[in-house]
Homo-oligomer: A and B are copies of this chain.
Amino acid sequence: MLAETALAELRALFGTQMSIAPAVLAAHGQSESLVTAGLPDAVVFPTTTDQVAALAKWSSQHRVPLIGWGAGTSLEGHALALHGGVVVDFRDMAAVLEVRPEDRLVRVEPGITREVLNHELRSTGLMFPVDPGANASIGGMAATRASGTTAVRYGTMRDNVRGLTVVLADGRVIRTGTGAPKSAAGYDLTALFVGSEGTLGLITELTLRLHGQPEAVMTAVAAFPGVAQAVDCVIATMQMGLTPARIEFLDVETVAACNAFSGLSLPLAPQLLVEFHGHPDGVAEDTRRFRDIAEGFGADGLQWAERQEDRTRLWAARHSAYRAILASRPGAKAVVTDVCVPISRLSQAVDETRADIAGSGIPGPILGHVGDGNFHAILLVRPGDAAEFATAKTLAARMADRALRLGGTITGEHGVGFGKLGHMEAEHGAGWDVMATLKRALDPLGLMNPGKVIPGRTGDGPA
């Protein structure tokens, strides 16, 4: 609950750009994950960096937490108000501020979604390729270091955010990065804030690196005799120097769900969906070479699609996979997991995970961005079934442990939020203490998205 003077001051700052209506608070108290938490005390809809800076000063003065909000698509409870406070919803800061085609840069506000951004870029011949699946906000994607299907070629948000405007906990505004493609001028503050999940400051503007829209696109789907062959095909593809724009794995359960949901008739076998971007001659050569590699690993029924409508059909399986999997167990809710391992251990990681899920009694199809060693299980639980939910959480925890044992990470792209706090010490050891030190240094009052990445309300860090 906000004190009366604090609330009055907040009203003075935001006027009609704020709400304490129960429905608005409730809408900002849930996310796509099954994680639940307390409600915020207020939601504000800023329109300028200055307004966010004033909010941060207000927050420091009244000791009220601030939680950034993009499109609400995070999966580990990133944007939930664990300790109350004010949710900062960037829906009204969603403009494209400047496109610089010669420098392949665009400057945007954080609330713009990736689909809207690419729609606005369509006439420029350029695109912002990072695609986490959900139509997330660009600010949220930066804050969680998102990636997705195209990271294997175009990189993650780490690679595609060139600079930021950040409002710090005390209300100072900093600008990181420059318009130059690289810099060696001091600490990499851009990289520090990308992936910090709003715990070090609030991103109010981003400069993004753009890429040329490909002249030619070719997509294929290939069925393999087993998981190992599909994964080995990925390894060989990367080692041959091919750079697919996407290379996605679907296990047989995912394929079955997609067939049922989308009316497809893909062979019931592990599949790779692959896409090449580039100059027409280069793409043709890449597709020839990929066919040779895939056939060497026993791939059958390779289907290629160069026409947009055929590509759409082939990618339908992937794009609707999450909904297809949800539909495969009517009424179920999903616990979505996310781990990433060295590609040499991917086959083992997927095999062990499949075996673990098979023995658990709940369904959990697996799919992922295997060019990066990144995969997910969509663990399906009956709503309100505490035992199944516990089973899912245990499976997810074992996936994280397994990823670490195999030299990987507890999260490839979904981030920590508070859902993965319990695994941070195992991954980082003393490095987590260093993160807590950085948090305390930049947010000594512990008001920036408290309880995420670093546990605790006060920013005191790992116990």
Contact = CB atoms under 8 A, between A and B. Distances in A.
Interface of A: 100-105, 144-147, 151, 156, 158-159, 168, 172-176, 178-189, 191-192, 194-196, 200, 212, 214-215, 235, 238-241, 278-279, 281-282, 285, 289, 338, 340-345, 372-374, 403-404, 406-416, 420, 423-424, 427-435, 437-438, 440-442, 453
A194 B403 CA distance: 25
A431 B175 contact: yes
Contacts of A453: 186-187
A68 B408 CA distance: 30
Contact of A412 (B173, B184, B428): B184
A183 B340 contact: yes
A179 B442 contact: no
Nearest to A164: B431
B183 A412 contact: yes
Q: Which 6 A-B pairs have the closest CB atoms?
A: A191-B191, A441-B441, A179-B407, A102-B344, A183-B409, A179-B342
A102 B192 contact: no
Contacts of A146: 184
B181 A373 contact: yes
A173 B430 contact: yes
A142 to B, nearest CB: 11
- Give the one of A102, A196, A345, A374 with max B CB within 10 A: A102
A355 B183 CA distance: 24
13 contacts: A102-B342, A146-B184, A174-B430, A174-B434, A180-B342, A180-B373, A182-B372, A183-B409, A184-B409, A185-B423, A186-B424, A191-B192, A438-B441
Contacts of A144: 184
Contacts of A179: 341-342, 345, 406-408
Given A192-B191, A241-B278, A241-B279, A437 B427 contact: no
A102 B235 CA distance: 7
A185 B407 contact: no
B239 A212 contact: yes
Contacts of A342: 100, 102-103, 105, 178-181
Nearest to A288: B281
Given A145-B188, A191-B191, A407 B174 contact: no
A180 B176 CA distance: 27
A97 to B, nearest CB: 14
Contact of A185 (B200, B240, B282, B424): B424
B431 A184 contact: no
